[in-house]
């Protein structure tokens, strides 16, 4: 019953965000077209790099396109759901108006994560599907049912990690007033997820695998579609995502105890 209640609440939040965005329909359409344009520009660096070589760190052009596809999809999640919602809650904390969220008969973390959504970012899903289709056409193959199922499970893990990192970042707003730079830093770091994790070496590769798991978000799902992801890595990825969710929940509850309202 609780799950159904929260799914209904999510539907209400989505409908409210869509109605708000469509108040100005021309702007809504233009924002969607611009998003499609920026989505395809993510491929340009690949054309530049692969114009001089056939593979990079063991990844050919078609395989790297799969990583870009996942990067495009998750960019839609990050910029369409995570970033605007967390920006809103930071404003609530700064102005002391988070009380209006806390007094509602629903979990506060769920409410802040779904408070503000940008529907036109959903076109990134379409752009990603086009990139996936183009990549598999170049590779001359199609993903198996098992590979698709595994990659969908990793999509849940990637989205959970994105929201968890966002919650960990926004929890800092309970202790310091401005965290804008942290948000911008995280978005800049996420840009590295457009490349396979094998491109990076040493400490950077360790950080992008275990601290800020960019590999889990784009490289592992791409490997899952290709059918080359080890089962042990798949299981550890799901376990790691669950740990991030639990850690962000714990930090959020402790940070909430530091909140002092405006009243």
- pLDDT at position 1: 57
pLDDT exceeding 70 applies to what percent of the chain? Answer: 95
pTM for the complete prediction? 0.83
Question: Would you say residue 251 has pLDDT above 80?
Answer: yes
- pLDDT at position 109: 81
Q: How many CB atoms lie within 10 A of CB 96?
A: 12
Residue-wise pLDDT for 183-214, tens only, equals: 777 777 888 888 888 888 888 888 888 888 88
- pLDDT at position 96: 74
Q: pLDDT-derived band of residue 261, with 50, 70 and 90 as boundaries?
A: low
- pLDDT at position 116: 75
- Residues with Cβ < 8 Å from 107, sequence gap 6 or more? 6
Q: Are 74 and 217 in contact (CB under 8 A)?
A: yes
Length of the chain measured in residues: 263
Pick 212 or 258 by higher pLDDT.
212
34-38, 132-136, 217-221 — which is least confidently predicted? 34-38
Residue range 237-251: mean pLDDT, rounded: 91
- pLDDT at position 153: 93
Listing DSSP states for 108-152 in one string gives: HHHHHHTS---GGGGHHHHHHHHHHHHHHHHHT----HHHHHHHH
pLDDT exceeding 90 applies to what percent of the chain? Answer: 17
Residue-wise pLDDT for 207-240, tens only, equals: 888 888 888 889 999 999 998 999 999 999 999 9
Q: pLDDT-derived band of residue 262, with 50, 70 and 90 as boundaries?
A: low
- CA 50, 54, 57, 60 dihedral sign is positive
Residue-wise pLDDT for 66-114, tens only, equals: 999 999 888 888 888 888 877 777 777 777 777 777 788 888 888 877 7
Residue range 145-163: mean pLDDT, rounded: 90
């Amino acid at each position: 019953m609780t799950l159904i209640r929260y799914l209904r609440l999510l539907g209400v939040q989505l409908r409210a965000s869509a109605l708000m965005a469509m108040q100005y329909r021309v702007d809504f359409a233009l924002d969607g077209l611009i998003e499609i344009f920026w989505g395809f520009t993510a491929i340009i660096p690949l054309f530049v790099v692969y114009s001089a070589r056939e593979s990079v760190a063991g990844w050919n052009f078609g395989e790297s396109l799969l990583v870009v596809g996942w990067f495009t999809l998750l960019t839609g999640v990050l910029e369409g759901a995570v970033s605007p919602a967390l920006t809103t809650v930071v404003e609530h904390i700064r102005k002391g108006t988070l009380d209006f969220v806390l007094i509602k008969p629903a979990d506060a973390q769920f409410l802040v994560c779904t408070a503000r959504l940008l529907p036109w970012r959903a076109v990134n899903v379409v752009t990603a599907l086009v990139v996936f289709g183009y990549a598999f056409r170049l590779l001359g193959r199609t993903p198996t049912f098992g590979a698709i199922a595994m990659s969908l499970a990793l999509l849940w893990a990637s989205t959970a990690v994105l929201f968890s990192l966002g919650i960990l970042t926004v929890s800092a707003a309970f202790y310091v007033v401005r965290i804008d730079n942290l948000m911008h830093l995280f978005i800049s770091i996420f840009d590295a997820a457009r490349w396979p994790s094998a491109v990076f070496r040493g400490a950077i590769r360790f950080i992008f695998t275990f601290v800020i798991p960019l590999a889990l978000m784009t490289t592992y799902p791409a490997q899952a579609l290709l059918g080359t992801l080890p089962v042990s890595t798949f299981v550890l990825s799901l376990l790691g995502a669950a740990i991030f969710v639990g850690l962000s929940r714990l930090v959020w509850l402790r940070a909430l105890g530091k909140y002092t309202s405006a009243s």
